[in-house]
Amino acid sequence: MTINHAKARPTACLAMADGTLMFGRGFGATGQTTAELCFNTAMTGYQEIMTDPSYAGQIVAFTFPHIGNTGVTPEDDETADPVAEGMVVKWDPTAPSNWRSTETLNTWLTRRGRIAIGGIDTRRLTRAIRQQGAPHVALAHNPDGDFDIEALVAAARGFAGLEGRDLARDVTCAQSYRWDEMRWAWPEGYKRREGPGHKVVAIDYGAKRNILRCLASAGCDVTVLPATATADDVLALSPDGLFLSNGPGDPAATGAYAVPMIQSVLGQSRMPVFGICLGHQMLARALGAKTVKMNHGHHGANHPVKDLETGKVEITSMNHGFTVDAQSLPVGVHQTHVSLFDGSNCGIRMADRPVWSVQYHPEASPGPMDSYYLFERFSKAMADAA
C-alpha cells in the first residue's frame, strides 16, 4: 500500500482498488463517490470538461496545475449539470481572475454536488495510470478528516467499471427539442440562427452544447432526439442529415439499440450521416467494425491527428476510453484519420456515400479552427444531396 500525505491535515482521500491511498485537501461537495479515474492534459477548459457528458462514470485528474484560476461562468457549461463524478488537482484553486467569471470553482462544485481533492502529485498519478491503466477509485471529502480506509478501498474494488455499461441512457435528453443557438462570438455572445436551414436530426448520446452550436452555425436547423430514438422517429422528421453525438460508456452496450437504428436509417435513406466520438463508434459498429477498451484512453486538447486523405495534421481535443479497431473495418469503409500519438483510429467514411465520423471533438477548437471544416463538409453534403 502506498500512502501520500498532504502537508496540511488531510480532508480528502483518494483510494484505489489496489490499495493505494492518496490524501489531500478536499474542496467542493462533501461525501464519497466511486468511478474510473482518468487524466486530462488540457491547460484550459476545466468547466467544459466537468460538464461533458462523455465523462459519466469517471473522476478526472488534471495534469495542468492551475485549475480554477479563471473561475466559472454559466456560458461555458456543456450541459445543465456536471457529469464527471469528481476532480483531482495539484494545487488548490486560487481566487478567480477573469472578467467572465461569475463564481469560484469551489462554490460551483459545492452547489453542483461534485467532490474534489487538491494537493495531489498528479505527475506521479498520471504515470501510474499510463503504466497500469485507468484504475477504479473511491474519492471521499470529509472536513473532519475521518476516513474508513478499508471501506473506501472496498468501494473502489466494488465499482462495476465502464465495460458493458450503457451510460448514454443516463445522460441523454428526456424528450426531443429544437436547437438554434450558434457559436459564441465577440461582442454579441451567443446569437440565434434565423431563416431556413438544412434539417438535421441529432441523436443525443450525451451531446455537448457546443456541438449543437457548431451545427447551427453551419446552417443546420437542428432537432435533438434521445439516444433511444428509432429509425421511424428519425425518418418521420424527413431530415436532410443525421448527426450522431458524443457520449459515455461502452459502445457495445449502447450499440444494442443504437446500431439497429443507424443500420435501418442507412438502409432506407441516402442522407448524409456525421458522427463524433461515441457517435463515431456507433457508426463504425453499425457498418460492421468492432470497438475495444483502451488502456487509459485519450483525454486532452493537444492530440495530433493526421488526415490520411489530405496529409494535413490537426490539433484536436479528445475524450474517449474506447476505440474503433481499424483492422475490423469492412470492405467499403475507409480509415480517414489516425492518432499520431499511438496510431489508433480517429476517423472513417463510407467509400460510396456521404457517411463519415471522427473520434475527436472538432467543436472544442483547440487548433483552434483545424477541424471546423467537418461541420462545413456536413452542410455541403446536405446541400449537394438536395
Tens of pLDDT, residues 352-363: 999 999 999 999
- Domain residues for the domain of 320 are 168-385
Segments in the chain below pLDDT 70: 1-8
> Do both 376 and 232 map to the same domain?
yes
Range 260-274 burial, b when 16+ CB lie within 10 A, else e: ebbebbbeebebbbb
Per-residue pLDDT tens digits for 172-226: 999 999 999 999 988 889 999 999 999 999 999 999 999 999 999 999 999 999 9
> Do both 242 and 183 map to the same domain?
yes
Reduced to 3 states (helix: H, G, I; strand: E, B; else coil), residue 311 is: coil
Query: What H or E segment, with its residue span, contains residue 8?
Result: none
> Do both 46 and 12 map to the same domain?
yes
DSSP structural state of residue 119? S
> Do both 239 and 315 map to the same domain?
yes
At 288 the pLDDT is: 98
Query: Could you list the active site residues?
Result: 277, 361, 363
> Do both 224 and 88 map to the same domain?
no
> Do both 73 and 215 map to the same domain?
no
> Do both 213 and 124 map to the same domain?
no
CATH number, domain of 284, equals 3.40.50.880
Closest CA to 164 of 74, 304, 36: 36
For CA atoms 46, 47, 53, 57, give the dihedral sign. positive
Closest CA to 333 of 379, 294, 286: 286
> Do both 154 and 240 map to the same domain?
no
Answer with the one of 89, 123, 158 that is the final residue of a domain: 158
In a domain, 134, yes or no: yes
Answer with the one of 158, 176, 202 that is the final residue of a domain: 158
At 3 the pLDDT is: 45
> Do both 145 and 212 map to the same domain?
no
> Do both 151 and 236 map to the same domain?
no
In a domain, 190, yes or no: yes
Answer with the one of 120, 137, 158 that is the final residue of a domain: 158
Helix pair 209-217, 373-385: axis angle to 10 deg: 50
In a domain, 374, yes or no: yes
> What predicted TM-score, i.e. pTM, was given to this entire model?
0.96
> Do both 352 and 219 map to the same domain?
yes
Cell of 220: 443546420
> Do both 177 and 117 map to the same domain?
no
In a domain, 163, yes or no: no
At 7 the pLDDT is: 53
For the chain, the domain total comes to 2
